[in-house]
Amino acid sequence: MGRWFKIFFESQSHLVMVTGRKTELTSAECAKKCDIVIVSVPINVTTKVISEIGKFVRKDALLMDFTSIKTEPVKAMLKFSHSEVIGCHPVFGPSVSMIKNQTIVLCPARGTRWLPIIKGLFEKNGAKVKITTPEKHDEIMAIIQGMTHFSIMSVAYAMKEMNADINESLDFSSPIYKLRMDMVGRILNQDAGMYADIEIVNKKTRRAIKAYLDSARKLQSIIESEDREAFISYFKEASDYLGDFRKVAEDYSNFIIEKLVEKKNSQK
């Protein structure tokens, strides 16, 4: 992500300095010189790096981080620096080609000078910027990332335990199942350490996972007892909760399915 944003910031005519384990420029030297200092390192060492460089960031400068967790990094930036502080989570990966229509979450924590500048820079290029607190960010990400990734990994691991043949299952499947398994494969094709940190470091994820497991056990009990009425009630409660989103989701998934079928037909 650091490399991705280096290219982005340079495309906006900003001078970017990069420091890391393999650069001659030290982190301390870089922090002293820059107006905006961004920590973009693995989650499990983010607070450590912040603690090392925070004191070198000028008071009139801005200190930011690019991580999927916000509470602890923002606390560290406030503790170890005297500069303005904004936590930042680009909710996309480095494989995307442009920032347009991508979501970026900003968590302003100290100072008011830099927020409109950073927000304006992202929005000018088409990004969707959300402003919130670090705590609210982590609460939402516990569902968006923590619970969702947990269920995705569980599906693949359960299939492994059942000795299911993934390719055979795809031969029997609908486009919806194929799309679901594409998401499973996409996540499990990423860095395991990063996902371990996303699941473990965000303490709010535990509550989300417990809710997921409690719900799954309730549904399992209904199925094992062959209680059709209870199943329909469970289904309707979940359906009613989604409200108008159900129709939006159906229309969007129908569009994706059509594109998948078109792609498959073009490959024949």
- Same domain (yes/no): 148, 233: yes
- Same domain (yes/no): 120, 143: no
Among 132, 153, 183, give the residue marking a domain's end.
132
Report the candidate in 84, 103, 79 with the shortest Cα–Cα distance to residue 36: 84
Among 132, 161, 190, give the residue marking a domain's end.
132
Q: Is pLDDT above 70 for 268?
A: no
Q: Is 57 exposed, middle or buried, given 0-12, 13-18 or 19+ CB atoms closer than 10 A? A: buried
Predicted TM-score (pTM) of the model is: 0.88
Looking at beta carbons, which pairs linking 234-240 to residues 24 or more positions away fall under 8 Å?
Answer: none
- Same domain (yes/no): 154, 218: yes
Per-residue pLDDT tens for 101-144? 999 999 999 999 999 999 999 999 999 999 999 999 999 999 99
Rounded to the nearest 10°, the torsion over CA 174, 176, 178, 180 is -150
Q: Any idea what the CATH number is for the domain that residue 188 is in?
A: 1.10.3660.10
- Same domain (yes/no): 181, 248: yes
Q: Any idea what the CATH number is for the domain that residue 79 is in?
A: 3.40.50.720
Provide the residue range defining the domain that includes 210: 137-266
- Same domain (yes/no): 154, 42: no
The answer to whether the CB of 175 falls within 8 A of the CB of 260 is: yes
